[in-house]
Chain A
Amino acid sequence: MVFAELVQYVVTGLLVGGVYALMSIGLGLIFGVMRVVNFAQGDFMMLGMYLTFFYAVAASIDPLAGALLTLPPFFVLGWIVHRLLLARVTGGDPGRQHDAQLILTLGLSLVITNATTMILTPTPRGIRTSYATQAFALGPVLLNQARSYAFVMALVLAGLVYLFLTRTDLGRALRAAADDPEAASYQAIDVRTMHGLAFGIGIALVAAAGGLLATYYPIEPNVAGNFIVLMFVAVVLGGLGSIPGAFVGGLIIGLVQSLTLLVLPFQLQNTGVFVAFLLVLYLRPQGLFGRRARTV
């Protein structure tokens, strides 16, 4: 019994962590390239959930496909938000711009949450999928189908992002802009465009994560609050700005949340996460995958 139960806890933790991981790499990418702490990341996730919901309601698109279909519109949205708002407070002297960025993204978060509450009402919505309440049985261990699909898709998307960053010219240019904006601009890399690209991709990824989440989690305007802190913890845990780090950070959070329950009562579930977080920061202040100099 005990072993099967332990396996169930580990599997559950990893499945939950998969979506945290996808949420977190968008945030990690944006921070890595632009040095912007995007407080509105969770709100874009919420919008991604709503878009997936509307796809499902208006066009009967399965949310797993709907999640992928959120990528293009949210990339464009991210690009526009960068052009119109963020580009005004990024670049230039980082020390001076920092406060403006924080206030801008925090403000954006408030505006998005409240506008959504006003326009779409606070009534929670949900997409009913058959797989949300079904499980793959591996002996005594049950894998929730919705979470398994979401996990696999999160893995694939994260893999694609990694390949894009390491194997394509554009990806390399993006990393160059992250490593040293000044040197990159000497190499004819348009840093501003790279920032727009990073923000677009970061927003698209978190929207897709929202779409995957929507296969089993209700959608409401303030859903971001349930996840944003975990996203930040994942990104810092993995090493600020590191994409593999953010991914592993997300997985670890899911795992720790789940395994904490073996030793602590439910009310202390997130205590486990923060204890692990503090331990990592104490032993390895740059995060698990972080280098002393922050890079993608």
Chain B
Amino acid sequence: MAKNNLSNQIRRLRFENSQMTQQQLADKVGVTRQTIIATEAGKYAPSLPLAFKIAHAFGVSIEAVFQYENADS
């Protein structure tokens, strides 16, 4: 899948949250570990509900997890 303009802080947030594993995060948000890996690597842009679930899992706002880089700006 092509890279998108969406960057994320999932890796950093996982380590700040008691070194949460990818599997633990996947179980919390109800997806497979492969989806977390792909999202973390920026290979997959999650849906809005999943993005909110990930943010809620870390107890932060969605903007703290995902950042969109506008190519025009």
Please indicate whether A and B come from the same complex rather than being unrelated chains: no
